[in-house]
Amino acid sequence: MEDCIFCKIVSGEIPSNKIHESDHVYAFMDISPISKGHCLFIPKVHAEKMHEVADETLSEILIMIKQVINAGVFENYNVLQNNGIIAHQEVKHAHWHLIPKEHSDEGLKLEWKPNKEIEQTRIADKIRANLLFEFE
């Protein structure tokens, strides 16, 4: 897609510190890392959000993340995938962050606030009713 920074990285128009590429996936180091080894995995075909990425590509992404974790010998890490502006997605080309965490004071920090007031029953019913699932 024109004017997409990650599409330009895939095409080579913008340089990147590439780790690996497969038929559908491109992996490279994050330019503003929050920990040592912070890297990104993207589909080669432009898609803004995760649910718009082809199934085969999604599988390939997770497998490549696993291989990079093994290659980097990362024992502690977060895999982060943001979708939409209010969910902290800045680059509008779907991407997966692999954020190793060697020390507790680096890498991803989460504010996790469980809320007992949240009502889950109706949304669970809606999901079950609408679910199109290939796997049984």
- Give the binding site for ligand AMP (CB under 6 A): 5, 14, 16, 30-32, 40, 82, 88-91
**What is the spatial distance between Cα 117 and Cα 104, in angstroms, rounded to a whole number?**
30
Q: Specify the residue, 62 or 123, whose C-beta has the smaller distance to ligand AMP.
A: 62
Residues near Zn ion, by CB under 5 A: 1, 4, 6-7, 46, 93
Query: Rounded to the nearest whole angstrom, what is the least distance from the CB of residue 123 to ligand AMP in the complex?
Result: 25
Q: Which residues are catalytic?
A: 95
Find which of ligand AMP, Zn ion, none residue 69 binds, CB within 5 to 8 Å per kind: none
DSSP class of residue 62 equals H
Query: Rounded to the nearest whole angstrom, what is the least distance from the CB of residue 130 to ligand AMP in the complex?
Result: 27
Nearest alpha-carbon partner for 38 in 85, 110, 94, 108: 108
Q: Specify the residue, 17 or 70, whose C-beta has the smaller distance to ligand AMP.
A: 17
**What is the spatial distance between Cα 121 and Cα 104, in angstroms, rounded to a whole number?**
36
Bridge partners, 98 (sequence order):
39, 79
Find which of Zn ion, ligand AMP, none residue 1 binds, CB within 5 to 8 Å per kind: Zn ion
Find which of Zn ion, ligand AMP, none residue 93 binds, CB within 5 to 8 Å per kind: Zn ion
Q: Specify the residue, 15 or 123, whose C-beta has the smaller distance to ligand AMP.
A: 15
80, 33 Cβ separation under 8 angstroms: no
Give the helix, strand, coil percentages of the chain, each rounded to 5.
30, 15, 55
